[in-house]
Amino acid sequence: MKPRELFCRGELSACVRAAASSSAPSERILEAYALERLGRYREAILAISKINVAGDERIHLQALEAECHLFDGDLGTGRRLLDAIGDPAVGIEARFELAYARMLLAWVEGSADGMDAVLSTVDVRKVPRLHARWLFGSSWAAALRGDYQQQLTLLEDAVRLLQTPAAYDVTLLATATRCLVHLVREVASPGSFEFAVAAAHSVPWTQDLERERFLTFRGLAWAYALRGSHETALRYACSARDIAPSRMWVAACYADQAYLARMAREDSSSNGLLRHAISCAKEIEWISPGEERVAILNLVELAADRDLEDAKRLLEIYDGIAVGLAPHLALARDQRLYAMEAYARGTLLAASGDRAGAIELLQTSYSIFSSIGYAWRAAATALRLNAVTEEIAWLRRAADAVQGFPESSVAGEIRKTAAGVSDPRAASLTPAQRRVYRLICQGLPDKEIAAALRLSPETVKNHAARVRGAFGVRSRAALIAAARNAG
């Protein structure tokens, strides 16, 4: 099979082997492209240095070399290479590659307007394989701007085009599909979820694309869970864990499964998976520049409600990660990671009794998630704020945010909480009494409630007596029964 066909089919390692023995410049260029897509940037740069071409092909290769430096985190060299190229009069292929490299530089520098400006200088609509890359690059600009609905539209257009013979490119198709899947787990958009699932199953995954398949399956697990399909979600989560590319990602998968089990209200399974995930996380040296670290934030949130000391230790591990995020990752460029951090830290502060600190961080997290349309995360944060502040307004905000995910566990928790608020007996309680009431309903004895809320046992006893009085019962068991009957 020829290198070009291998490249288009996503068999990148085979493409490298086939092109390495060729003397044809076009095939050696394909070798460099394949190495770049495999993440072997320095090898790609070395391969480029050995290709002797002139004219358009030389400009093309210089732009590709700049991209490799940028992907590898060497912004200075990438910028110098692009500045040295200038604006030569070249054909559409070289002109597009130069624009794409400059778009990538603008991405790393955090300029969405710069990305759009560079991409607007080339019109590749008549060249499908270049147009597909143009759409994909434009989707990055939309993401950087925080316009995830626009990113969703551009990715869908790119996937449709990449599935046609004129633009067929399995590697880019896999990457665009993975991005699409991760968006539909956050943004509710009619028809997009079904389109993303169909796209994921249409990709002819190769061995070189196992990481993309892993990330896609992991995203599908969350997307299904948020739509109430918990059994399917668990199946995808297990499939992802089976092909996890590192120990860190395995720990992330256990964290996912613990979270998904809690969403399915399978508390015993969730607690067992949580303990195992925490144990794994403590044993791993977290040195990756990838997004694996987000798993620790998920574990902090889960552990905060179960074991405060474990949650604190996990946050210490997170804060001790010495390696920064790779500069080309989306999480390194926008506010989503900051919002996730604020949510995890706020949850931990709330569990520790620092209400003021928790409210400040959770409000920041809510503001970011709601502004970018990350609906269920905004709803979960608003629900947490309702629990901390006892303000009904946060419950209303949570209900508004989660409308696109009515079958999610977050929506169920909101409905459950709203039912309790609408009960005049619960509504008559003070915020402090309601906090005691909730913990009684969770089965905690007075001593544990006092420790959790940082109150004296006598204060908890008095609050509990007033709660029983509001419900017209005399015992803890009768109170719990009354609460269950109220929904």
DSSP per-residue codes, 408-431: SHHHHHHHHHHHHHHSHHHHTS-H
- Classify the C-alpha dihedral 448-449-454-457 as positive or negative: negative
Confidence of residue 473 (pLDDT cuts 50, 70, 90): confident
Task: Select from 401, 310, 329, 343 the least CA-distant residue to 73.
Answer: 329
Cα separations (Å) of 315 from 126, 267, 337? 51, 23, 14
Share of the chain above pLDDT 90, in %: 78
Burial class (CB in 10 A: 0-12, 13-18, 19+), 194: exposed
Cα-based angle 301, 306, 310 (whole degrees, multiple of 5): 70
At 20 the pLDDT is 87
Does residue 448 share a domain with residue 389?
Answer: no
Cβ neighbours of 68 (radius 10 Å): 25
Task: Select from 228, 129, 118, 134 the least CA-distant residue to 169.
Answer: 129
Q: Name every residue whose Cβ is closer than 8 Å to that of residue 331 and which is 6 or more positions away in sequence.
A: 291, 294, 325, 337
**Residue 19 lies inside a defined structural domain of this protein:** no
Backbone dihedral region of 458: left (phi > 0), alpha (psi from -120 to 50 degrees) or beta? alpha
**Per-residue model confidence as pLDDT tens digits over 15-45:** 999 998 888 989 999 999 999 999 999 999 9
Amino acid at 133: R
**Residue 221 lies inside a defined structural domain of this protein:** no
**Residue 132 lies inside a defined structural domain of this protein:** yes
Does residue 432 share a domain with residue 387?
Answer: no
Of 169, 192, 211, the one marking the end of a domain is 211
pTM of the predicted structure, to 2 decimals: 0.86
DSSP-H helix ranges across 243-391: 247-263, 267-283, 294-304, 308-319, 336-352, 355-372, 375-389
Cα-based angle 472, 476, 479 (whole degrees, multiple of 5): 45
Tokens, residue 290: 């990838």
**Residue 165 lies inside a defined structural domain of this protein:** yes
- Is 382's pLDDT higher than 70? yes
Does residue 441 share a domain with residue 397?
Answer: no
Does residue 134 share a domain with residue 207?
Answer: yes
**Residue 24 lies inside a defined structural domain of this protein:** no
At 486 the pLDDT is 64
Residue that has been written with the tokens 């015992």 in this structure: 475
**Mean pLDDT value across residues 392-420:** 90
Phi/psi at 191 (5° precision): 85, -20
Task: Select from 110, 40, 180 the least CA-distant residue to 327.
Answer: 110
Does residue 476 share a domain with residue 446?
Answer: yes
Chain-centre distance of CA 164, in angstroms?
28
Of 164, 191, 211, the one marking the end of a domain is 211
Does residue 382 share a domain with residue 348?
Answer: yes
Residue that has been written with the tokens 């419950």 in this structure: 395
Distance CA 362, CA 342 (A): 6
Tokens, residue 65: 């070399």
Does residue 439 share a domain with residue 374?
Answer: no
**Residue 67 lies inside a defined structural domain of this protein:** no
- Classify the C-alpha dihedral 276-278-281-283 as positive or negative: negative
The b-or-e profile of 11-29 (16+ CB within 10 A means b, else e) is: bbebbbebbeeeeeeebbb
Does residue 437 share a domain with residue 371?
Answer: no
How many domains in the chain?
3
Return contacts of 105-111, CB within 8 angstroms, 24+ apart: 105/66, 105/70, 105/75, 105/78, 105/79, 107/140, 107/141, 107/144, 107/328, 107/333, 108/70, 108/75, 108/78, 108/327, 108/328, 108/333, 109/75, 110/144, 110/333, 111/144
Does residue 188 share a domain with residue 130?
Answer: yes
DSSP-H helix ranges across 91-169: 92-108, 112-119, 128-145, 148-162
What's the CATH code of the domain at 471? 1.10.10.10
At 421 the pLDDT is 65
Domain containing residue 348:
334-401
Backbone dihedral region of 32: left (phi > 0), alpha (psi from -120 to 50 degrees) or beta? alpha
**Per-residue model confidence as pLDDT tens digits over 307-316:** 999 999 999 9
Cβ neighbours of 324 (radius 10 Å): 10
Cβ neighbours of 9 (radius 10 Å): 18
Of residues 418 and 407, the one with the higher pLDDT is 407
- Is 134's pLDDT higher than 80? yes
Does residue 380 share a domain with residue 340?
Answer: yes
Task: Select from 357, 362, 317, 320 the least CA-distant residue to 344.
Answer: 362
**Residue 381 lies inside a defined structural domain of this protein:** yes
End-to-end CA distance of the chain: 64
**Per-residue model confidence as pLDDT tens digits over 202-229:** 999 999 999 999 999 999 999 999 999 9
Tokens, residue 456: 């004296």
Share of the chain above pLDDT 70, in %: 98
Amino acid at 7: F
Return contacts of 415-424, CB within 8 angstroms, 24+ apart: 416/487, 417/383, 417/386, 417/387, 419/486, 419/487, 420/483, 420/486, 420/487, 421/392, 421/395, 423/486
Confidence of residue 474 (pLDDT cuts 50, 70, 90): confident
Burial class (CB in 10 A: 0-12, 13-18, 19+), 154: buried
Does residue 396 share a domain with residue 429?
Answer: no
Does residue 197 share a domain with residue 130?
Answer: yes
**Residue 188 lies inside a defined structural domain of this protein:** yes
Q: What torsion do the CA atoms of 163, 165, 171, 175 make, to the nearest 10 degrees?
A: -20
- Is 426's pLDDT higher than 80? no
Of 211, 228, 257, the one marking the end of a domain is 211
